Amino acid sequence: MKRKIIKQGHNTLTITLPSEWTKRFNLNSGSEIDINEKDNGLFISTERLNDLKKTEFDISGMDIPTIWKHFMAVYREGYNEVIVKFDPNQTMESPYQFYSQHKLDMRYKKESQKKSTLEAIHGFVNRFIGFEIIEHEKNYIVIKEMGELTSKEFDSSLRRIFLLIQEMAEETLEAIKTNNPKLVLHMHDVDVNLDKFHDYCIRILNRISNKDQRKTALLFSTLFLLELVGDEFRNISFHLVHDFPKTNLDNLIKLAEYTKQEVDAFYDIFYKYDKEKIKLISEIDKELYFNIGKIYKKATEEEKEIIHHLRMINRYINSLTELRIEMEY
C-alpha cells in the first residue's frame, strides 16, 4: 500500500497508518509503536508486550496429565503471571516421568517416589522457558515470566529446533550404521529440549503480533509438524535401546540416509528458498516410493517397526516443504 508524506511544521514529515491495522491492534492517539530501520525501509510494529495477562487455576485433585494440560495452555497462550492454587496435603508423581521417555532414563528410579505438590509444581515450571516461581504460600504459588519475548527470540528458538532435529537425524543414522544403540540413549533429553523450544515459539507467536496472520498460521503448522518429526526420532531411539538393542539393522541404512538428507535439505530451504533443494526432496520421496517395497520385503519384523517411523518423518518433511513453498507466495 502507498501513503503520501505530509509536511508538518518546518522539519517534520508524517504519514498516516492504515485504519484496519490500527483497529486490529487497538491503537489510538498516544499509543506507542516500534519503528526499526531495515535496509532501505522502515519496519513498523506493535508487539503488545506491555499488556499484563494474568490467570489462575486450582490443581487440587487433578492428576499429572490434567495439570500438565493446564500449564501448557497458560504458557502457550502467553500469560505473564499465573497463580496456581493447590492442596498442601496432596502428593503426586514427578511430572518429569510424564514428559520424558523415562524407560530410557536412569533418573526415572530417582524420580519415582511421591512428591509434595509444591515439589511437583517446581518440576512443571522448570519445563517452561522463561517461567519462574516468584512467590509461594501454603496453598498457592505465583509464577511470572522472566525476560522479554521478541521476534529475535522466536527466530533463535526456531533455529534451535531445526538444529536439534538435525542432531537426531545424524545420531539415528549413525546408531543404525554402527549397530550401536548407545548413541541414541540420550534422545529423550534432546526431544524434551525440542519440545521446550517448540512451546516457547508458540508462546511468542501468541504474544507478538508483528507478523501477518497468514504467515503466523503457516508458522504454527510448521512448528506442529517439526514437533512430530522429533517425536518420531524419539520413538526410533526407544526401539533401538529398549525393544531390540542387539538387532542388526543393515537393511535400514539407506532409508536412514535418505531421511537425514531430507531433514538437512528442508533446513536449508526454510532459511534460503532453493528450488534445487526442493527438487532433491521430491527425488528422495520418489526414490522411496518406488523402492520401499523392496526394502520392506528384506526387512526383519524389528526393522519394519523402524521403517514405519522413518516413513512418517518422510511424510512430515513433505508436508513441511509444502508449507515452505506456500510461504513464498
Q: Which of helix, strand or coil describes residue 97?
A: helix
Among 1-10, 20-29, 101-110, 191-200, the minimum mean pLDDT is found in 101-110
Instruction: Name residue 93's beta-bridge partners.
Output: none
Domains and CATH numbers, the chain: 6-45 (2.10.260), 54-145 (3.30.1370), 151-327 (1.20.58.220)
Q: Residue 105 — pLDDT band, cuts 50, 70, 90?
A: very low
* d(C-alpha 17, C-alpha 3), whole Å: 8
* d(C-alpha 302, C-alpha 218), whole Å: 36
Q: Indicate whether 106 pLDDT > 50.
A: no
- The answer to whether the Cα torsion of 211, 145, 108, 160 is positive or negative is positive
Q: Indicate whether 240 pLDDT > 80.
A: yes
Write the single-letter amino acid at 99.
Y
**What integer pLDDT is reported at residue 288 of this predicted model?**
87
Mean residue pLDDT of the chain comes to 86
The C-alpha cell 519440545 sits at 195
- pLDDT, mean of residues 60-85: 92
Q: Which of helix, strand or coil describes residue 310?
A: helix
Q: Indicate whether 306 pLDDT > 60.
A: yes
- pLDDT, mean of residues 93-112: 55
pLDDT digits (tens, 9 = 90+) for 138-185: 899 999 998 878 888 999 999 999 999 999 999 999 999 999 999 999
**What integer pLDDT is reported at residue 104 of this predicted model?**
45
**What integer pLDDT is reported at residue 275 of this predicted model?**
94
pLDDT digits (tens, 9 = 90+) for 316-327: 999 999 999 999
- pLDDT, mean of residues 184-203: 93
- pLDDT, mean of residues 76-101: 81
Q: Indicate whether 112 pLDDT > 60.
A: no
Q: Indicate whether 39 pLDDT > 60.
A: no
**What integer pLDDT is reported at residue 102 of this predicted model?**
46
Percent of the chain with pLDDT over 70: 90
**What integer pLDDT is reported at residue 108 of this predicted model?**
44
Percent of the chain with pLDDT over 90: 52
Instruction: Name residue 178's beta-bridge partners.
Output: none
Q: Indicate whether 49 pLDDT > 60.
A: no
Q: Residue 272 — pLDDT band, cuts 50, 70, 90?
A: very high
* d(C-alpha 249, C-alpha 186), whole Å: 20
Q: Indicate whether 229 pLDDT > 80.
A: yes
**CA nearest neighbour of 57 among 68, 42, 41, 48:** 68
Q: Residue 96 — pLDDT band, cuts 50, 70, 90?
A: low
